[in-house]
Amino acid sequence: MASIVASAKRTPSNKRLLPAITIADNETEIFVVRWSPDGTMLAAGAGDGSISVFNGETGKMAYELQPGNSGALPATSIRFRPSNDAARTKNVLVTTSAAGTVQHWHVTSGKCLHTLDEGGSVMALDYRPDGLQFATGGRDKVVRLYDEATKALTCELKGGLGYGDNVTTGHSNQIFSLKYHPTDENCLISGGWDNTIQVWDCRAGHAVKSIYGPHLCGDALDLVVDPSTGKTTVLAGSWRPQDPLEMFDLDTGKCIEQVAWRDSLLASQPCMLYAAQFSQHDGRGQFIAAGGSGANEARVFERGVGPEKNTSLVGTVAGMKRGVFGVAWSPVRDRVALGTGDGTIRILDVVKRGKEELENGESSRLINVRVEADENAQPAAPGAE
């Protein structure tokens, strides 16, 4: 059974959201966002296929890698290559598209270094933490592993093994999210439309475990390892009205928490999630950001609050005309970027609440972006920083 602590017993978070930068004037939906490893750049992929990179401090466009086209298919996922090897080229960005391409870009020169064509929609992408391997997944339900140096396909993960309670079938519908384990290079997880999270052993070539329940329609899987216990927690954001945000124990596959997502204050609809991610820079996943459609909102939660170790609400970003399709935490600070269907990227910081704010309670946790965040919008302007 999932543990859902009643709100009356929860210790509230002493943090709040502070709008930092709003990047407006994008011509189409922002489907995916991702920070560079040093947090200085924010990359975004859009519904018209465009790939743009913005200055992380000013919000101004620094590089336009691929212009948009009204006839193009959307960018679907985006990752900076981990910069763990000082001898390799820096600032490499990998993107996927619904057209089936996987492209490597050198951001600062604007050059496309390599293109793979998988022949069908590629919806998900992730790098192994050492940057030596990357994985893709999409419409054909197969997870493909590639060698980063040669770009050669090294393995296709599909199907499962076993009988009875131990059976693992692989995916029966398209994949929308992939995530490598942060410390086990042979483990990755995937999820999509078939209401399962598949746990893969890259050496075995098939799924070794299945977690039933989450219905993923975007980049809404993440993993974090507790440094004190070594246990791995899976975060999943589902596109559904009930219990959209959950955490699971990777070892047992059991749901350990359904994060309470109360009805929106500004919308009569529930929020169905497209994106979810643990915060990055502390290595503990202290915060969770998630967002979606319906209520068209995003929320940030803090984990391990108070003696009860609650997951407590930090703040809600609401009042948007369209949904939130992508979320990304900075790897160097408690700053989160939201990619939205109205073509806007909203960047917010997590800061401590003052005494007066704590006394005001939950009412001070709502950010109505139409009133507050968009008034100081920073238009996206061409030209390198």
d(CA 298, CA 144): 31
pLDDT of residue 367: 72
d(CA 165, CA 378): 54
Written as six digits, the tokens of 221 are 């899987």
Res. 177: pLDDT tops 70: yes
d(CA 316, CA 300): 7
DSSP structure class, residue 294: E
3-state secondary structure of 338: strand
Tens digits of residue pLDDT in 326-371: 999 999 999 999 999 999 999 999 999 876 655 555 555 777 764 3
Lowest-pLDDT range of 22-36, 113-127, 163-177: 163-177
> What radius of gyration, in Å, describes the C-alpha atoms of the chain?
20
d(CA 220, CA 104): 23
Res. 161: pLDDT tops 80: no
Tens digits of residue pLDDT in 29-41: 999 999 999 999 9
pLDDT of residue 274: 98
**Banded model confidence at residue 49, pLDDT cuts 50, 70, 90:** very high
Lowest-pLDDT range of 49-63, 83-97, 178-192: 83-97
Query: 360 phi and psi, to 5 degrees?
Result: -75, -20
**Banded model confidence at residue 54, pLDDT cuts 50, 70, 90:** very high
- What DSSP string runs through 67-126? ---TTSPPEEEEEEPP---TTSPSSEEEEEETTSEEEEEETTTTEEEEEEE-SS-EEEEE
Which pTM was predicted? 0.90
275 within 8 A of 216, measured Cβ to Cβ: no
C-alpha angle with apex 186: 183 to 187, nearest 5 degrees? 75
pLDDT of residue 6: 33
Query: 8 phi and psi, to 5 degrees?
Result: -65, -25
345 within 8 A of 45, measured Cβ to Cβ: no
Residues 6+ apart with CB under 8 A from 165: none
31 within 8 A of 293, measured Cβ to Cβ: no
Residues 6+ apart with CB under 8 A from 76: 31, 32, 45, 96, 97, 98, 121, 122, 123, 124, 125, 138
d(CA 137, CA 29): 22
Mean of pLDDT over the chain? 88
Q: What percent of the chain has pLDDT over 70?
A: 86
Edge-first strand order for the sheet with 366-368 is 271-278, 287-294, 297-305, 310-318, 366-368
pLDDT of residue 382: 29
Instruction: Tell me which residue of 349, 73, 340, 37 sits closest to 218, measured CA to CA.
Output: 340
Res. 377: pLDDT tops 70: no
The upper half-sphere exposure of residue 320, i.e. CA atoms within 13 Å in the direction of its Cβ, equals 31
Res. 48: pLDDT tops 60: yes
Counting every residue, how long is the chain?
385
Res. 86: pLDDT tops 80: no
Q: What percent of the chain has pLDDT over 90?
A: 77
Instruction: Tell me which residue of 206, 209, 187, 179 sits closest to 196, measured CA to CA.
Output: 209
